[in-house]
Structure 1
Amino acid sequence: MAVVEKVVPVSADRVFAVLADGWTYSDWVVGTAHIRDVDTDWPAPGSHIYHQAAGWPLALKDKTVAVSCDPPHELVMRPHLWPFGELTVRLRLTALSPQETKVTLAEEFAAGPLRWTRNKLDDLLLHYRNREALRRLAELAARRFA
Structure 2
Amino acid sequence: MSTVTEVLDSSADRVWGVIADGWLYSGWVVGASRIRAVDDQWPQVGARLHHSVGAWPFLIDDSTSVTGMEPKRELKLLARGWPMGEAEVLLTLESMGSAQCRVSISEDAVRGPGKFVPKALRDPIIGVRNRETLKRLGLMAVGGAGGNG
TM-score, normalised on structure 2?
A: 0.93
Q: Which moved more, 1:21-30 or 1:112-121?
A: 112-121
Deviations 1:91-126 (A, max 9, x none): 000112222100000010011221122322221111
Contact 1:109 1:118 in 2 (8 A): no
- The yes-or-no answer on 1:61 pairing with 2:61 is yes
Tell me the CA shift for residue 57 of structure 1: 4.4
Give secondary structure in 2 for the equivalent of 1:42.
Answer: coil
1:129 is matched with 129
RMSD: 1.1
| 1:55, distance to aligned residue in structure 2 (A) | 1.5
Find the counterpart in structure 1 of residue 142 from structure 2: 142
3-state SS of the aligned residue for 1:7?
strand
Q: Quick one: distance in 1 between partners of 2:8 and 2:82?
A: 32
**Equivalent runs, 1:1-146 vs 2, <5 Å:** 1-144=1-144, 145-146=148-149
**Which amino acid is 1:142 matched to?**
V
Residue 25 of structure 1 deviates from its aligned partner by 0.3
Q: What is the total number of aligned residue pairs between the two structures?
A: 146
Cα distance in 1 for partners of 2:91, 2:123 equals 17
SS at match of 1:99: coil
Distance 2:92 2:106 in 1: 8
Query: For 2:58 and 2:115, how far apart are their aligned partners in 1?
Result: 20
2:49 and 2:26 map into 1 onto residues whose CA distance is: 10
TM-score by length of 1: 0.95
Within 2, Cα distance between the matches of 1:81 and 1:52? 8
Distance in 1 separating the partners of 2:99 and 2:118: 37
Structure 1 residue 58: Cα displacement: 3.0
Match of 1:41, SS?
A: coil
Moved more, 50-59 or 89-98: 50-59
Q: Give the fraction of aligned pairs with identical amino acids, expressed as a percent.
A: 38
Flag as ranges the 4+ runs of structure 1 deviating above 2 A.
none
Gaps of 5+ in 1: none
SS at match of 1:54: strand
Q: 1:60, 1:82 within 8 Å by CA — same for their partners in 2?
A: yes
